[in-house]
């Protein structure tokens, strides 16, 4: 006679919990893909990085040993403003998609605060760039402030993406790199 082992109630409860949590996670992941959270999260990070890189370039150009021309400064500041505006658009989309999640909205507000400060400092840098001889020290200080604000925004963005369970966007692969076969392996026939 065989004996049937019965799992303790706590083990059954734990098993049910694991299965339910996996289903809930899968549903959250599917919704994230539909809403484009990974896409918008990636856009926020990319545009923040572009803006930060441009502010660093402007900082280097603004050093006394290599003064920046008005045109170059204007282009760099314009690029920073454009990148911040694009990051703000992607952030607004994430905010709209998660409007009923207070922790997400709170995190987005922190990022928006850093973006607003970066926009403000960007405007100050633009004013200094438009002056006849441009105040290189003031421009460099503005760039430092912009870089710092964007860096803080990136830290908060990483936290946001972690909250949304969004990993980095995958590395692109060429279609020719994927090995696709039309033939299915034949099943081995067992000898009788």
**pLDDT digit string, tens, across residues 68-109:** 677 888 888 899 999 999 999 999 999 999 999 999 999 999
Percent of the chain at pLDDT > 90 equals: 33
Q: Give this prediction's pTM.
A: 0.60
Token pair, residue 112, equals 């928006």
As a residue count, the chain comes to 192
pLDDT at res. 53: 85
Sorted by where each begins, the domain ranges of the chain are 31-165
Residue 12 pLDDT greater than 90, yes or no:
no
Task: Determine the 3-state secondary structure of 188 from DSSP.
Answer: coil
Residue 157 pLDDT greater than 60, yes or no:
yes
Listed residue (28, 38, 7, 10) closest to 160, CA to CA: 38
Q: Report the C-alpha gap between 103 and 165 in whole angstroms.
A: 13
- Summarize pLDDT for 21-64 with one digit per residue, the tens: 444 444 455 555 555 677 777 888 888 888 888 888 887 776 66
Domain 31-165 adopts which CATH fold? 1.20.120
């Amino acid at each position: 006679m065989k004996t049937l082992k019965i799992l303790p109630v706590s083990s059954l409860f734990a098993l049910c919990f694991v299965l339910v949590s996996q289903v809930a996670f899968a549903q959250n992941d599917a919704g994230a893909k539909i809403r484009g959270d990974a896409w918008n999260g990636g856009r926020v990070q990319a545009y923040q990085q572009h803006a930060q890189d441009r502010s660093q370039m402007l900082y280097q150009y603004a050093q006394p040993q290599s003064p920046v021309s008005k045109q170059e400064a204007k282009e760099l500041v314009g690029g920073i403003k454009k990148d911040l505006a694009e990051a703000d658009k992607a952030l607004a989309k994430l905010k709209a998609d998660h409007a009923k999640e207070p922790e997400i909205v709170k995190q987005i507000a922190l990022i928006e605060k850093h973006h607003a400060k970066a926009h403000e400092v960007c405007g100050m840098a633009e004013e200094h760039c438009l002056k006849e001889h441009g105040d290189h020290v003031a421009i460099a200080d503005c760039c430092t402030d912009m870089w710092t604000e964007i860096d803080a925004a990136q830290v908060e963005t990483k936290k946001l993406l972690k909250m949304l369970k969004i990993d980095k966007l995958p590395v692109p692969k060429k279609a020719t790199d994927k090995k696709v076969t039309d033939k299915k392996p034949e099943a081995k026939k067992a000898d009788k």
